[in-house]
Structure formats: C-alpha cells, structure tokens
Structure 1
Amino acid sequence: MYPFERFFFFLKEYVSNKAHSESSIAEDYIVEEGITFCSNYLEVHYATFDMHDNNPSSIDQSNYLFGSVGTGIGKEEIIVLDEKSLIQIHQFVLRHCDQIESYRESFVNVEKRKRRRHTHLTPKDVEKLINDTFHEWFRDKVTLARGPNMIAKRFSGYYINGFKFRTISRVKDKKTQNYGVVNTTEIGGVSYFGQLSDIFEIDYFGSFKVVLFKCNLANVTLMGIKRDDLGFTLVNFSRLVHTGEKLEHDPFVFSLQVEQVFYVENPKNNNWFIVIRTRPRDLFDMVKL
C-alpha cells in the first residue's frame, strides 16, 4: 500500500457530513493543524506525534544523574566492568559533578600545601591532579566517592533527546547509520566527533544511576578534523584519541550531552568522512511569546 493510500484512511475519519465530505475533511484538518501548532507553546503537552514507546516520561528521572535518562533499545545485557573501565567512569563522573566543586577546591588546596612555597600549579597541573588522584582522596567522604557498582547494564541502542542511537557493532553491514555522535564543549565550543561503541547504565549502589556513551573519538587536531573549501567538516577515524586503552584516557560522555550526526564517505579519500548534522524528529523552532 502506498503512503498516500494509508493517509486517505486518516482523512476519511474527518468526514462528519457525508453530503459535504470534502469540506468536512478540510475543516477538521485545519483545526487539528491549529491545535498541534498551539500545543508546541505549552510547557507540558502530549501531542499525537509525541506518543510513542520511546518517551521516557514514565521513568523516575530523579534517580539519574546529569539528566542522562532515556530509553534503552533492544535487550539489555548485564555485564561486569573491568577495573580500568570502572576507574575511568568514576573519574569522569567526579570531574563533571558540580555538587562536589567545594571538595575539588579543598583537594587542590591540600595538594598545594604539600609542595614547596611559591610553587605554582598551572591549570593543566590542577587538571592532571584531579584526573589522577582526586577519586582516591575523595573516597569515603560521600556516597558518590564510593564509586559505581561493577555490575552494569549494557545496551545496543538508546533513545534520548529525540535521537535514536545504536552502537557501531549493532548497525554493522546495515544500510542505516545511527552511531555518529558529536559533543560540543561549553567552554571554547570545541566539537568532538565520534562513533558510538558502547552504552552503559552505571549504578551507584541504588543511590543513583548514570547513562554513559563510550565513543571512538577523532583527533581534534588537523590530523583528525578539517574543513574543506566548501565549508564541510571532515573527520578521520584512523587517528583516534582517548581509545580507553590507557587509564588516563577519557572515552566516555554523558548521554544527554551528545547530538547525532551522520558520516558520508569522501569519494576522493576513503579515510575522511563528511559530517552531516541532523535534528531530532518532531523538534520545532518556536518563537517565544
């Protein structure tokens, strides 16, 4: 059945006066269009195009850190995280939790007092200290410092922010592509392009949860990202950074932070891919009243 034939079924439901079927369809269609348009200006509304199983409104979002709640796609898998991944995840969460900023400042002050007088710590030194040893110093101070449970959930797909993501292994040998991600930093506006390799739901022993995406990130230098003469952004995934092989690597990102992109192979150079940005389905640019 062709799409327009299926659409006729919905149009026939608008007929309330069989003597004037065309005008009934036109009138009801205009009314529904107007209601749908006005509903987008309401803070809480449930339009017909929003009513799908991927809406995480039924999930207790207060139990998730950083607004990372979404809906897993496919069968979830219970896994045991290795020690290296566990430390990397714990360090990443601690670095981005604003509620413990005072603890981070106390830690830096303690480290400064350990050093000789007039020893200056550069911002890079402070960042390295926090990455390497803050999680050990912070242990046993609050629940978050205890670290996550080694038992975690793994998904092959995830729906969040209107995007449907799937891991690169899930869409291998398929025509569809849902593994492209981009994370733009708040400071500096640097865009990190990557390929989604894993999706984890991390549990902090029942206190709270967080959903993390593990990505293959392209190098942000000219070796991994460039812009051509036409203004298109190209990325090269043969030169990856933060692969997760070393403890100091940072391959994770919060599920809420990423947006979806598509990669089109450059016909002139197979190692480079053209970035195509997309928008979530059912997203409207509404003028504020």
Structure 2
Amino acid sequence: SRLLGLKSHDCHTLMQQLLPVAIRSVLEKPARYAITRLCFFFNAICAKTVDVSKLDKLEEDVVVTLCLLEKYFPPSFFDIMVHLVVHLVREVRLCGPVYFRWMYPFERYMKVLKGYVQNRTRPEGCIAERYIAEEAVEFCTQHLSDVSTVGVPSSQKMGVSKPLSGCTNTEEVLPYIEQHMIHIKTAYPKFRKRTKWLQDKHNSTFIQWLRFKVQSELEEDNHGVSENLRWLAAGPNMAVPLYRNYLIKGIKFNIKAQDDVRTTQNSGVYLLAHTMQVASAKDKNPILSNMGFYGVIQEIWDLDYQKFTIPVFRCDWIDSSGLVVDELGFTLVDLSKIGHRNDQFVLASQVKQIFFVDDPMHRGWSVVLSMPNREYNDVIGDEVLGDVIIECEPFTRGMPNVDTFDELV
C-alpha cells in the first residue's frame, strides 16, 4: 500500500520512529545502518534538551553518515536539501533546540483555520467569524464548570478523576517504611544482614503494622497524622470498580482486551523502579539499583479511600528472559514470557506509556517504542498551538559503530 497525503510532520515522525524498525528486515546490514544513523541524528537534534559539549561529535557523525549514504544511493539523490543536513548542528549551536523554531504547530493550526471556511468566496470572513464565536463560547464555558459535558462517553468520563498523587503518597508513608524496617531488624536480629529476607518480610507485614501504628498515634494528643495517611492506613473500599480505559494526566490507558478489538494500542507500560536485583535464588548479596520493567495492562482498578481514589494497574510483566537490547540499542521483548506474577500491581502515576511494534526481523519479538513525554496538567482538551515535541525516547544513546562498515560490504 502507498502512503498518501502525508504532511511534513508525518514524515518527520515516520523517519524518527518507524523507519528504523520498518527497514530491519528489508535491507542489507550496511545500508540499514547508514539510514538508521540518519534517523538517530534527527532524534538527537530534535530532543528537548541538547548537550552542547556533544554537538561537535554530532556534526562529525552526520558528515560520516552522508558519506555512507553515498555508497548506496545514486548521485541524483543528493540534492541541496540533503546537503543542508550538515548545517543543522551549527543552527542548533547558534539558535538553540529545534522545537523552539519549527513550524509544525502553525501548520497544524492552519488546518483548523481552513476548517472554518464554509463560503469559499469569503474565506477570510468565515475564519474571522468562526474564530470570534469560538472565543466567546470558550469564555462562557469558564463560568459553567459544574455543568455535565456533552459528547464524552460516561465510561471514559468516570475514569477521569483527580487521583491522589503517587509522590505525595510515598512521601507521607516513607518515614513509616523506615521505622518498620528498623522494627523488623530489632525483632529478628539473626536476619539483620539478609537483605532479601528483610525486604520480603517488610512487604508481607507492612500493611498490618502501618494500620496499628497509625491507630496508636491517633490516640495521642497532637499526633500529626494527616488525613490522607489516616485513610491510607484504614485501607480502601472492598468494592473496587474496574475500568476498560482510564485517562490520567492527559494520557489514555486501555486494558489489553480493549486493545484487541481496536486498531490502536494503549495498554503497554514501562516502569523504572529502584529494586533489589539477585543473580539467582541462592544469591545472598543482592544489589539495589534502578531496573526497567515492561508490561501490558490487564485490569485497571480504582481504589476508593473515601476522601480520594488511587488508580492502579494489574499488569503482565515481561520476564527478564524475554528482554533483549540489540546492537543498535533497540529494546526487544517477547510478550509471551510473563514473569513477576506475585507482584503485578503498580500505581498508574508511576508508569510511562509505551508501544510494542512487531519486529520484522525476529518472529515473536516486539520492538519497544515510547511516546512523547508531554507535560500535561490533568487536562482533557488539547491546545491547538501547544508544544508539539516529537521527542520520543531514543533507541540508543549513540550512533551505530561504523568501524566495521567496510568489512560488511
């Protein structure tokens, strides 16, 4: 099938995110690496933050990339537009990040203005009248905040709420976590040095200990227990509503069953956790470090603590045996290898949405792509002239190695 009607913004997204994946199985390795280097270059210069100290190296890399492309493309391909890629790094050095200067928001808004035109003989008048009418309606809606909306499905609208922030929750409970660990070490002195045993004991007994601890503090004068912590210790309502989709911080999450009947995908999540890592079940020297987990949402729970709600996801997490990072930095996962079945739940505020694309090179594996990290403030609407940053998480932090390119040919 042919791709028709693409705008420059569409081509940019295809080049930065989908092209490196699409060519994995259709081109020889040298040609594929050369094109992938060009895609990585645009990923680097379009990032939200740019390291000035790496611009010189980036400029050298793009020159090498164009030289590599000359091996596989005819001379007619190299017009002035291809040559101008060499000067993009200098432009970043002089003017700053690219997304401050590109025209994508204005091009997208031109489509909105063209949609205002009903009388083609008077396009300017149509645009002016529709724009004024829209501004008036938006001004009036600011005074109708308590009125129910029209056109928003009730199932989705129920999922749009003001959940308790995961950061606030953690900060209030953190002192009690430390106290509980000290309590366990005091109660079981023989296991003081067995970190894994202490963590497992903490996970299995902390809830009951916290409920007793908070209740005893509430009986004292000037206890200082916040209302949120009081309801957290009391526990949620046992009647837990389940949702097929949930909108939080402007990002829509679906369960896997919902994605199976649609062409879109919103059930992939990524969690970066500071957790304990062991080499095997007999490893007595675990290491605490950051570790990434990839999963698929199976259920969405909305825990009701009377004064607030906390959305949580029950996910199927990919086992470490189903996770591979290839030579170009692509993260590949095998969605059939499920692990961590004893710890499936995660706070909705702690995960980042990702997408799984079938790897054309390895059957049964999927390439992980992450979505743009837009900074929403719990809004549903999308500002037309808002910041359009295509900064998806790069596949790799560096360019593919070109030292062995001559050997590959």
Structure 1 equivalent of residue 332 of structure 2: 234
Task: Output the CA distance in 1 between the equivalents of 2:203 and 2:347.
Answer: 17
Q: What corresponds to 1:145 in structure 2?
A: 233
Match of 1:97 among 163, 170, 179: 170
SS in structure 1 of the partner of residue 201 of structure 2? helix
Structure 2 matches for 1:187-202, cutoff 5 A?
A: 188-202=289-303
Q: Residues 60 and 265 from structure 1, CA distance in 2 versus in 1: closer, same or farther, beyond 3 angstroms?
A: closer
- The answer for the alignment partner of 1:263 in structure 2 is 356
Write the distance in 2 (CA, Å) between the matches of 1:60 and 1:176: 23
Q: How far apart, CA to CA, are the structure 1 residues paired with 2:112 and 2:170?
A: 49
Instruction: Identify the match of residue 368 of structure 2 among 263, 269, 275.
Output: 275
CA shift for structure 1 position 179: 1.2
Q: 1:162 aligns with which of 250, 267, 272?
A: 250
- Name the aligned partner's letter for residue 158 of structure 1: Y
Q: Contact (CA 8 Å) 2:192, 2:198: kept in 1 or not?
A: no
Cα distance in 2 between the residues matched to 1:215 and 1:240 = 10
In the TM superposition, what whole-angstrom CA distance separates every residue of 1:197-235 from its partner, at most 9, and x where no partner exists? 11110112x13320011111112x3x1211122321111
Which residues of 2 match residues 67-82 of structure 1 at below 5 A?
none
TM-score normalised by the chain length of structure 2 = 0.46
Contact 1:236–1:273 at 8 Å: present in 2 too?
yes
Give the secondary-structure state (helix, strand or coil) at the position aligned to 2:206.
helix
Count of aligned pairs: 225
Encode CA deviations 1:174-201: one digit per residue, 9 max, x unaligned: 3222211112236855321111111110
Structure 2 CA distance for partners of 1:10 and 1:251, relative to 1, 3 Å:
same
Is residue 163–residue 259 contact of structure 1 (8 Å, CA) maintained in 2? no
1:165–1:179 contact (8 Å) kept in structure 2: yes
1:179/1:132 CA distance change after superposition, 3 Å: same
Match of 1:217 among 317, 321, 326: 317
Q: Deviations over 1:108-134 (max 9, x none)?
A: 2222222347x5334433321210111
Q: Does 1:9 align with 2:115?
A: yes
Give the alignment partner of residue 199 of structure 2, picking from 115, 122, 127.
127
Query: SS of the counterpart of 2:193?
Result: coil
- Give the helix-richer structure, 1 or 2: 2
- In 1, Cα distance between equivalents of 2:264 and 2:174: 42
Q: Which amino acid aligns with 1:115?
A: Y
Gaps of 5+ in 2: 7-109, 133-150, 215-229, 276-288, 375-381, 390-409
CA offsets, 1:129-165, max 9 Å, x none? 2101111222243432222221011110112233222
Amino acid across the alignment from 1:284: D
- Name the counterpart of 1:109: 182
CA contact (8 A) 2:184 2:198 kept: no
User: Partner amino acid for 1:162?
Assistant: G
Distance 1:105 1:8, change over 3 A: closer
One-letter amino acid of the structure 2 residue matched with residue 8 of structure 1? K
Q: Contact between 2:166 and 2:350, CA under 8 Å: does it hold in 1? A: no
Aligned mates of 1:267, 1:228 — CA distance in 2 = 14
Identity of aligned residues (%): 25
Distance (Å, rounded) in 2 between the aligned partners of 1:217 and 1:180: 10
CA RMSD of aligned residues (A): 4.2
Q: In structure 2, what is the Cα distance between the partners aligned to 1:159 and 1:131?
A: 29
TM-score, normalised to structure 1's length? 0.62
Alpha-carbon distance change, 5 to 135 in structure 1, aligned in 2, over 3 angstroms: closer
**In structure 2, distance between residues paired with 1:6 and 1:139:** 54
Shift of 1:26: 10
State whether structure 2 residue 282 is matched by structure 1 residue 183: no
Q: More strand by proportion, 1 or 2?
A: 1
Query: Where does structure 1 lack aligned partners over 5 or more consecutive residues?
Result: 33-51, 69-92, 244-248
1:15-52 Cα distance to aligned partner (Å, 9 max, x none):
9xx8xx67889999xx99xxxxxxxxxxxxxxxxxxx9
1:231 to 1:11, Cα distance in 2 relative to 1, 3 A: farther
